[in-house]
Amino acid sequence: MRPSDSGMAAMRKRFSSVCSSPSAEEDSASLYDSVSISATDPANEQEHPYASLLCCHRVQDSLLSSNSSFTRYRGILNWIIILLVLTHAHLFLENFIQYGFLIDVKKVLEHLIEDNCNWPSVNLLLAANMFAITALLLERSQEKGMLSPTNTHRLHLTNLGLLLLFPVAVIVNEPTISTGGAFFSLWFYTALGMKLYSYQETNHWYRQAHLTDAETDNNEHLTFKDLYYFLLAPTLCYQRDFPCTPKVRINKLLHRLLEMVIVIQIMVGIVQQWIEPIFQRSQNSFSSFDITMKVEHLVGLVAPTHFLWLLFFFLTHSYLNFCAELLCFGDRHFYGDWWNATTLISFWKNWNIPCQKWCHRHVYTRLVEKNVPPSHAELLVFLMSAALCECMIALPLHSCRLWVFLAMVFELLVAVFLGNYFQGNYGNGLVWLCLLLGPPLAVTTYFHDHYISFPSQMSDYGLPVFLQPH
């Protein structure tokens, strides 16, 4: 017996309500759940037994579409990681077959030894105490009223100027200092100069705060213990009371130490086994290559240079956390999620928080206070950072080609002119592209020319005799 027209209309209505119900739009699994429910719920016995299966389509986007809200890409990430490991295992095997095993840590240690244990870099580090103690004595003299604020500020600037010029003079004029010692000494003095500038300016701010006598008693702060804790702490910005953790966790300390040892070994292996054979294939300076040779050389250096930069970042992470754990230093926000940055500006603000915090606190803010437009202040801070990076690479290698500075300026132009066209995932891709082809690669070209200019040092870098150019 056929159902009446009214019965058919009611059934179609029930079916259409199933198709348009919110529960049918949640997930495909909900369809199967509704089947089991309808089979057991007496209230649905009058429903068609396959009503929940009649509608299997709904409005939805493809998972890889830009309009989709899907974010679970862990499987693809695992696939990429496995593919990268297998690809670079193949490259390493080819490298090993062609050049043999080149990794020799002793060669690196020999390169750090300077002129029969007469180490200019060690003497430089010891001499740095002179400038730190001078800064402390100047603060104490002003606190006791022996010096006026104006004279104290001038003497502080003189002390900082000598601090910056002293290592440069030694590196340029001392032939026995090693390249590694020159790098370490210059980086150390740069960090020390930034710390001492923050030290004197922050103490000046405390004096201007007009606090009560009990709160302005600087005798407990202007001490060697307070100064050297700040100098050893993983920060560039001074304050009188740093946040501290309750105790030193030995397991975390040993964990960070093991990380540093392993990462340094891997970095040495990449340099000696992968980068140096590329260097030795060329007898000429990078600047003398034609455009085809430059592109071919840079393409060969992109992967090892990028891996080396990532390892250096992780080494910095381990070292800063090691120092923080050893000193019970509580603020360990040393970097943000720069790997998710969708703009270069966001990357610059997140990849080195201590330096960014110092620049904002002691340069950008002070420029804005002097009526410099914020955009101009940001540009000046960026150019100062680019010039500083150029000096810290060029001086120890005794070569100034402006490659690092120009690479950073080029990134700035990319950020200004292409930032509005690359957003979201495309912007993040542009950031990673600039990291692959930007300053880290420019730094490697400096080392390439230094390597070519001093062939007598090739054995010190770990290159075997049969690979040295004749």
- Rounded CA-CA distance 147/140 in Å is 9
- Rounded CA-CA distance 391/106 in Å is 29
Q: Is the pLDDT of residue 158 over 90?
A: yes
pLDDT of residue 44: 47
Residue found under tokens 């202040």:
377
| Mean pLDDT of the region 236-242 | 91
Query: Has residue 309 been placed in a domain?
Result: yes
Q: Are residues 176 and 281 in the same domain?
A: no
Q: Could you tell me if 311 and 263 are in contact, meaning their C-beta atoms sit under 8 angstroms apart?
A: yes
| Mean pLDDT of the region 311-340 | 93
Query: Has residue 78 been placed in a domain?
Result: no
89 against 19, higher pLDDT: 89
- Rounded CA-CA distance 35/48 in Å is 11
Residues 6 or more apart from 348 whose CB is under 8 A from it? 356, 382
Q: Are residues 284 and 369 in the same domain?
A: yes
Query: Has residue 213 been placed in a domain?
Result: yes
Res. 136 pLDDT band, cuts 50 70 90: very high
Select from 232, 250, 268 the last residue of a domain.
232
Short-list 274, 261, 279, CA closest to 101: 274
What are the angstrom distances between the C-alpha of 40 and each of 11, 19, 187?
A: 20, 20, 74
Q: Are residues 172 and 264 in the same domain?
A: no
Q: Is the pLDDT of residue 67 over 70?
A: yes
pLDDT of residue 81: 80
Output the DSSP codes for 65-90.
STT------HHHHHHHHHHHHHHHHH
| Mean pLDDT of the region 60-78 | 78
Q: Are residues 310 and 426 in the same domain?
A: yes
pLDDT of residue 7: 55
421 against 261, higher pLDDT: 261
pLDDT of residue 377: 93
Q: Are residues 185 and 325 in the same domain?
A: no
- Rounded CA-CA distance 153/159 in Å is 10
250-301 residue pLDDT tens: 999 999 999 999 998 888 888 888 888 888 777 677 777 778 877 888 888 8
Burial class (CB in 10 A: 0-12, 13-18, 19+), 4: exposed
pLDDT of residue 105: 64
Res. 227 pLDDT band, cuts 50 70 90: very high
- Rounded CA-CA distance 262/388 in Å is 29
- Rounded CA-CA distance 169/178 in Å is 14
Select from 215, 232, 249 the last residue of a domain.
232
Q: Are residues 361 and 453 in the same domain?
A: yes
Residue found under tokens 């590694």:
180
- Rounded CA-CA distance 226/248 in Å is 19
pLDDT of residue 355: 94
Q: Are residues 293 and 381 in the same domain?
A: yes
Q: Are residues 185 and 290 in the same domain?
A: no
Query: Has residue 89 been placed in a domain?
Result: no
pLDDT of residue 29: 41
- Rounded CA-CA distance 404/227 in Å is 34
The runs of H, that is alpha helices, within 287-338 are 291-327
pLDDT of residue 30: 40
| Size of the chain, expressed as the number of residues it contains | 470
Q: Are residues 328 and 278 in the same domain?
A: yes
Q: Could you tell me if 249 and 324 are in contact, meaning their C-beta atoms sit under 8 angstroms apart?
A: no
347-391 residue pLDDT tens: 999 999 999 999 999 999 999 999 999 999 999 999 999 999 999
Q: How many domains does the chain have?
A: 2
φ/ψ (deg, to 5) at 464 = -65, 160
Handedness of CA 303, 308, 313, 318 (dihedral sign): positive
Q: Are residues 377 and 456 in the same domain?
A: yes
Residue found under tokens 């010039």:
387
Short-list 344, 387, 384, CA closest to 363: 384
| pTM, 2 dp | 0.78
Give percent above pLDDT 90 in the chain: 36
Query: Has residue 272 been placed in a domain?
Result: yes
Query: Has residue 221 been placed in a domain?
Result: yes
Q: Are residues 300 and 169 in the same domain?
A: no
Res. 211 pLDDT band, cuts 50 70 90: low
Q: Could you tell me if 102 and 276 are in contact, meaning their C-beta atoms sit under 8 angstroms apart?
A: yes
- Rounded CA-CA distance 252/321 in Å is 9
Query: Has residue 47 been placed in a domain?
Result: no
SS3 329: strand
What are the angstrom distances between the C-alpha of 223 and each of 136, 137, 204?
A: 8, 9, 16
Q: Are residues 136 and 264 in the same domain?
A: no
Residue found under tokens 């198709």:
19
Structure tokens at 84: 């990268």
Structure tokens at 339: 């790997």
Arithmetic mean of pLDDT over the chain: 80
Structural domain harbouring 142? 121-232
Select from 216, 232, 248 the last residue of a domain.
232
pLDDT of residue 31: 37
Query: Has residue 365 been placed in a domain?
Result: yes
pLDDT of residue 179: 83
